[in-house]
Structure 1
Amino acid sequence: MSAVTAQDWIAAWNSHDLDAILAHYAQEIVFVSPASTRITGDPTGRVVGKAALRLYWGKALAGAQDLTFTLRKVFRGPDSLAIAYHSSRTGGEVVEVLRFGPDGLVVEAAAYYE
């Protein structure tokens, strides 16, 4: 199913290494998050394509040097993972759903905040 494990995903985010984070995602990624509208200005919350995601997360990480995620729970689907974690940035719980393409990279992702 996937080349991504929840532990690897959390570790990449906690390292703040943008290349390590993006290594989990396909070129055609579609990412949706209500948080993205603050940086992109797109009211749909959609970020389409790996290059756009690099720009978005690069800006977001630059303003969040204290960001850490703490893994809470993992739910598995036939072609997806839902990762529940605590975000130090928001102080709340988040669920991120990752759907994988045939090569094991994430092609669709959506973040849900408490």
Structure 2
Amino acid sequence: MGLIDEKFSEEKVEIEKVLHNYWSYKNNPNKEKKELIEMIDEAIEDMREYDREHGTQYCKVIEKRFFEELGWQHVCMELNIEKSTVYNLEEQILNYILTFLLKHGWRVDKKAEAI
């Protein structure tokens, strides 16, 4: 893994933490956290639109894995998909959200303040 991949992986871990703590961030009075959640909400809305157009399950995985904090087995059973599919969807979700944030001005130096 190269330096860029490693840095991208670190950032994905941070985004995953935010998603697992979504509701506490959403209700937090901290301006940076609220702005981060607003951008994440925009990215999720993009994925929701993609789900509608293509019949994918990105938002269902987000709801089950991150917002409801269900384990792999429960998600697989509820969505009737394999564990590898959940893993792949989760990776794609994190990649998309991170790319979306970076394209919309989320700066690494702001990350430490927000997360």
Q: TM-score, normalising length from structure 2?
A: 0.33
Q: Going by fraction, where is strand more abundant, 1 or 2? A: 1
Higher helix share: 2
Question: Radius of gyration: which is bigger?
Answer: 2
Structure possessing the higher relative contact order (Cα contacts under 8 Å, 6 or more residues apart): 2
